[in-house]
């Protein structure tokens, strides 16, 4: 394996579904957010708990942009989000 590949993967990685990444009905922003969430998702449960604010800050977009994209991804059946209770952080499950 080349040194370049070792360096690229050294900080961790996430695997994205080809089905999602090649979906012409999803925007580049939606696909980018999905691939970003893949880097946070637990490999056994496919769930993550990352706030909208953190997603927005790390992707240099507004919280509104993240919320719109999350709604589109949920409507397409790519993710499912739920709030476990008052004062709890939202949980996102990657379905594809």
Task: Give me the chain's average pLDDT, please.
Answer: 91
Domain boundaries, the chain: 16-94
Q: pLDDT above 90 covers what percent of the chain?
A: 76
Supply the pLDDT for residue 52: 96
User: Given pLDDT bands bounded at 50, 70 and 90, which one contains residue 2?
Assistant: low
For the entire predicted model, the pTM comes to 0.86
Cα separation of 4 and 45, whole Å?
A: 30
| Residue 49: pLDDT over 80 | yes
Q: Domain 16-94 is in which class?
A: mainly alpha
Give the CA distances from residue 78 to residues 27, 47, 48, 60, 65, in Å, rounded to whole numbers and listed in that order.
Answer: 13, 12, 14, 22, 17
Mind listing the pLDDT tens digit for each residue in 14-31? 889 999 999 999 999 999
Query: Residues 29-67, buried b or exposed e (16+ Cβ, 10 A)?
Result: ebbebbebbbebbeeeebebebebeebbeeeebeeebbe
């Amino acid at each position: 394996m080349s040194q370049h590949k070792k360096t690229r993967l050294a900080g961790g990685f996430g695997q994205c579904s080809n089905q999602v990444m090649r979906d012409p009905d999803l925007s580049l922003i939606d696909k980018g957010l999905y691939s970003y969430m893949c880097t946070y998702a637990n490999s056994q449960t496919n769930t993550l708990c990352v706030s909208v604010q953190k997603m927005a800050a790390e992707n240099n977009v507004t919280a509104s942009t993240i919320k719109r994209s999350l709604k589109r991804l949920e409507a397409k059946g790519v993710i499912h989000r739920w709030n476990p209770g008052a004062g709890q952080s939202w949980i996102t499950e990657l379905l594809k």
